[in-house]
Amino acid sequence: MTRDNTLLLMVKLSGLKLLVRITRLSWDTDLVRNVHDVVTAVLHAFRIDLEALVGTFAG
């Protein structure tokens, strides 16, 4: 995966994470909100891994 592809993937994941956060507000049950929280946490962890990958391209 090239650096540009990795950066593009990071941007797309950030948009998806924002969408998940926005849709979380529309639900009123704790179960669904917890699922949204888990998805947000997984996307955040994946983004951190991608940042590390981009760092390897710079070095």
Distance of CA 18 to the CA centre of its chain: 8
Res 17: pLDDT:
94
Tokens of 25: 């507000």
Positions of the chain with pLDDT under 70: 58-59
Res 58: pLDDT:
62
Percent of residues, the chain, with pLDDT higher than 70? 95
Res 6: pLDDT:
86
Res 59: pLDDT:
56
Distance between first and last Cα of the chain: 16
State the sign of the Cα–Cα–Cα–Cα dihedral 22, 23, 29, 33. Answer: negative
